[in-house]
Amino acid sequence: MTSHPTRRRATAIIELPQGILLTSHRPGLYLLPGGAVDPGERSIQAVIREVIEETGLVAHTVVRLFEHTSASNRHVVFLVQAKGKPAPRHEIKELAYYTPSVTLPMSAATEQIIGHYLALKEQHADTFRALDAVGGIGLS
């Protein structure tokens, strides 16, 4: 059996008052902001670049959370606090917000990453409150 190499992907969780920011390249499928890590680029550089390219937001606080492997990607997931007003840019057609009360069509990896993030946030509430106090992340 031949295994296919997984693509390195830097993935951002940007939690705003409206919910967790999602992007859509095409109708009917939402993903977390992010994209491929270019050769010679660090994951943190890629996530900062992708957030600007896809949403126009400028990251000012970036915290590496965890890695997640999906069928085709090895995601390095970052919690990102950014300045600006999000708007779809370049290949992004639409932005939306994940909340537990809103059902949106998301990739399996996006659903799993959000689930892992929310569980982490609940399990380590004190840590997230401390991050919020220091970085103004807006998670409490």
The verdict on domain 7-135 having CATH code 3.90.79.10 is yes
pLDDT at site 1: 46
Give CA–CA dist 129/42, Å, rounded.
27
How many CB atoms are located within 10 Å of the residue 54 CB? 25
Q: Residue written as tokens 């660090």?
A: 42
pLDDT at site 140: 44
Give CA–CA dist 90/109, Å, rounded.
22
What's the half-sphere exposure (Cβ side, CA atoms, 13 Å) at 120? 17
37 secondary structure, DSSP code: P
Which of 135 and 55 is assigned the larger pLDDT?
A: 55
pTM for the whole thing? 0.89
How many CB atoms are located within 10 Å of the residue 73 CB? 18
In the chain, where do the E strands start and end? Answer: 7-13, 15-16, 19-26, 29-31, 34-36, 58-69, 73-83, 94-98
pLDDT at site 27: 84
pLDDT at site 129: 80
Residue spans of the domains in the chain: they are: 7-135
